[in-house]
Amino acid sequence: MQFQLKNMTKRQKTATIISGSILALFLCFAGINWGLLRNNELRHILQAGKVTVVMDECSWSMVETDSVPAGFHYELAKAFADSLGVELDVRVINGLDAQIKALQDGQCSFVAQFVPKTTCYGRNIAYMEPFELSRLMLVQRRDTGELIISQRQLDGKTLTIPQNKTMRMRVEHLSDEVVVNIAYVEVPDATIEDLVRLVAEGECQYTVCSAMQARILKQRYGQRLDFSLPLGFTQQYAWVLNRDARDLYAALSDFLQAFMQTPEYRDIYVRYFHAGASD
């Protein structure tokens, strides 16, 4: 290399040195244990003074009224941030697939959303303490004259659903379980609340939501929409984070287990879901 450099022009020497530096940086990054970095997630949060979370923009996640944020998931995430003594940074991303991608790309520390426990997203994510068990409920208009009261009546019907792997899988499994042909149309970047509004406005006939979400939606649409028919099996719903973020998982797990036993959590839950109301 020394002989070659002696016979090079100044520009060639500079280019060679820069190329060598880039190669060294590449090898350095290639050797990084990204799992180890994620395992230091909590330390990074404390050093940065903020925790970044992803959630939908809807009644149970986060909405802003007069520039004041509110929502079940927002209030819980804010309580966790306060327990760490850091700020809460919320990034609104509609669509579960996009939220999981943001998590895996390192854009947030966890997804503060009702994520059904499933294998759809592989083994690289970990589920927190579930908020409760819940089933999907059919959402339909009351004034159609054709109220569906049995899952088998869904044969030949079309559900309008958010575009994500989990919902698609659940509808397909429902078709297999009931042995009927249920079609579906996926809407990108739509929340459950968006689709329920479309049903109420007559833009589509049917959609689905969890029993937990139905408790909130009934408050607004109970006179026009029916949420009474359960579909499929019961599932756990929880927040998710990267499996390698073990220190953050431990801190968040300890927080949720303790906080969910407090009067403060009970107050939040009652305000959003009217605990005790029937599904």
Tell me what the mean pLDDT of segment 95-105 comes to.
93
Give the pLDDT of residue 39: 52
pLDDT > 70: percent of the chain:
84
Nearby residues of 249 by Cβ (< 8 Å), 6 or more positions away: 126, 128, 241, 243
pLDDT band of residue 10 (cuts 50, 70, 90) is low
Task: Classify each residue of 106-134 as buried b or exposed e, where b means 16 or more C-beta atoms within 10 Å of its C-beta.
Answer: eebbbbbbbbbeeebbeeebbbbebbbeb
Q: Which residue intervals of the chain bear CATH 3.40.190.10?
A: 34-132+236-273, 134-234
Give the pLDDT of residue 207: 97
Among 62-71, 176-185, 193-202, whose mean pLDDT is lowest? 62-71
Checking if the pLDDT of 236 tops 80, the result is: yes
pLDDT band of residue 251 (cuts 50, 70, 90) is very high
Return the DSSP state at 139: E
Q: Specify the fold of 134-234.
A: D-Maltodextrin-Binding Protein; domain 2 (3.40.190)
Tell me what the mean pLDDT of segment 145-151 comes to.
91
Checking if the pLDDT of 206 tops 70, the result is: yes
CATH for the stretch 34-132+236-273: 3.40.190.10
pLDDT band of residue 34 (cuts 50, 70, 90) is very low
Q: Identify the H or E element spanning 70.
A: strand 68-70
Contact 251, 84 (CB under 8 A): yes
Strand partners for 69: 64
Among 26-40, 96-110, 236-250, whose mean pLDDT is lowest? 26-40
Checking if the pLDDT of 28 tops 60, the result is: no
Give the pLDDT of residue 24: 43
Among 23-32, 96-105, 121-130, 188-197, whose mean pLDDT is lowest? 23-32
Scan for tokens 């996926």, then name that residue. Answer: 186
Checking if the pLDDT of 201 tops 70, the result is: yes
Cα R_g (the chain), whole angstroms: 24
Give the pLDDT of residue 272: 87
Give the pLDDT of residue 9: 55
Tell me what the mean pLDDT of segment 123-147 comes to.
91
